[in-house]
């Protein structure tokens, strides 16, 4: 995007059920306890909501969108939402010098697009409008454990787009892309406290140097 970031952007990535939302909350709190000015951010999927509504009209289920809505069209809309969310919401926080913890982030959207085999010719230029966070923490978890967590979570019911076979494809894509990006892989099968401690240590190492 060209503009210099004043603050620090971190993102938490991982397949559904890997613990992103849990950790965004715990890490933000832990860093505030250390005296840091930290804020969390979640992508606003405004236009993507309309894609989910389209899927509902086609299949009766907003999350049964694949392959009923072609992957390239769908992931293009997601990528545009991500770029808009970044520009309108996250970039101003960084310009004000805040430390931002993003629930998801570029690694997630690139992994989904790859897993769904969306055409990169259309998607990549939009993904490239969003800078990579200074560090992304990939919460690495096998698909079966993640699926069990999705089934047992109280926050929201499991969705069609969280089936284990798809979680496996996204996990593969995450690990491939992570090899060429500023990503720290974290063992997400550990206790929530152990995961929080590792992420907090990784963030403090960046912001205190």
Ligand X SMILES: Nc1ncnc2c1ncn2[C@@H]1O[C@H](COP(=O)(O)OP(=O)(O)OP(=O)(O)O)[C@@H](O)[C@H]1O
Ligand Y SMILES: Cc1cn([C@H]2C[C@H](O)[C@@H](COP(=O)(O)O)O2)c(=O)[nH]c1=O
Footprint of ligand X (CB under 6 A): 14, 16-22, 149, 153, 155, 191-192, 195
* The one among 86, 112, 137, 147 contacting ligand Y by CB under 6 A: 112
* The one among 27, 30, 78, 83 contacting ligand Y by CB under 6 A: 78
Among ligand Y, ligand X, none, what binds residue 161 when CB lies within 5 to 8 Å by partner kind?
Answer: ligand Y
- The minimum distance between CB 2 and ligand X, in angstroms, equals 30
Q: How far apart are CA 170 and CA 44, in angstroms?
A: 21
Among ligand Y, ligand X, none, what binds residue 160 when CB lies within 5 to 8 Å by partner kind?
Answer: none
Q: Are 140 and 18 in contact (CB under 8 A)?
A: yes
CB of 40 or CB of 159, closer to ligand Y: 159
Q: How far apart are CA 99 and CA 110, in angstroms?
A: 23
- The minimum distance between CB 26 and ligand X, in angstroms, equals 9
Q: Quick one: DSSP state of residue 136?
A: E
Q: Does 104 bind ligand Y (CB under 6 A)?
A: yes
Nearest CA-CA partner of 203 in 53, 87, 101: 101
User: How many residues line the site for ligand Y (CB under 6 A)?
Assistant: 11
Among ligand Y, ligand X, none, what binds residue 192 when CB lies within 5 to 8 Å by partner kind?
Answer: ligand X
- H/E stretch holding 107 reads helix 106-115
Give the DSSP letter string of 33-101.
HTT--EEEEE---HHHHHHHHHHHHHHS-TT--TTTS-HHHHHHHHHHHHHHHIIIIIHHHHHTT-EEE
Q: Does 63 bind ligand Y (CB under 6 A)?
A: yes
| Residues engaged in binding ligand Y (CB under 6 A) | 16, 45, 63, 75, 78, 104, 108-109, 112, 159, 161
Binding residues for ATP: 14-21
């Amino acid at each position: 995007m060209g503009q210099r970031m004043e603050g620090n952007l971190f993102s938490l990535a991982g397949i559904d059920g890997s613990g992103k939302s849990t950790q965004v909350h715990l890490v933000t709190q832990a860093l505030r306890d250390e005296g840091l000015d930290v804020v969390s951010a979640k992508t606003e999927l405004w236009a993507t909501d309309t894609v989910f509504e389209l899927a509902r009209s086609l299949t009766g289920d907003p999350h049964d969108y694949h392959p009923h809505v072609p992957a390239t069209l769908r992931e293009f809309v997601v990528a545009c939402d991500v770029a808009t969310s970044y520009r309108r919401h996250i970039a101003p926080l960084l310009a004000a010098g805040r430390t931002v913890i993003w629930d998801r982030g570029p690694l997630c959207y690139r992994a989904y697009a790859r897993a769904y085999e969306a055409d990169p010719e259309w998607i990549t230029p939009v993904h490239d409008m969003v800078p990579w966070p200074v560090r992304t923490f990939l919460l690495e978890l096998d698909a079966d454990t993640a699926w069990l967590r999705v089934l047992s979570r109280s926050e929201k019911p499991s969705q069609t787009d969280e089936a284990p076979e798809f979680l496996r494809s996204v996990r593969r894509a995450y690990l491939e892309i992570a090899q060429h990006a500023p990503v720290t892989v974290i063992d997400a099968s550990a206790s929530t406290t152990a995961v929080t401690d590792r992420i907090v240590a990784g963030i403090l190492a960046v912001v205190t140097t």
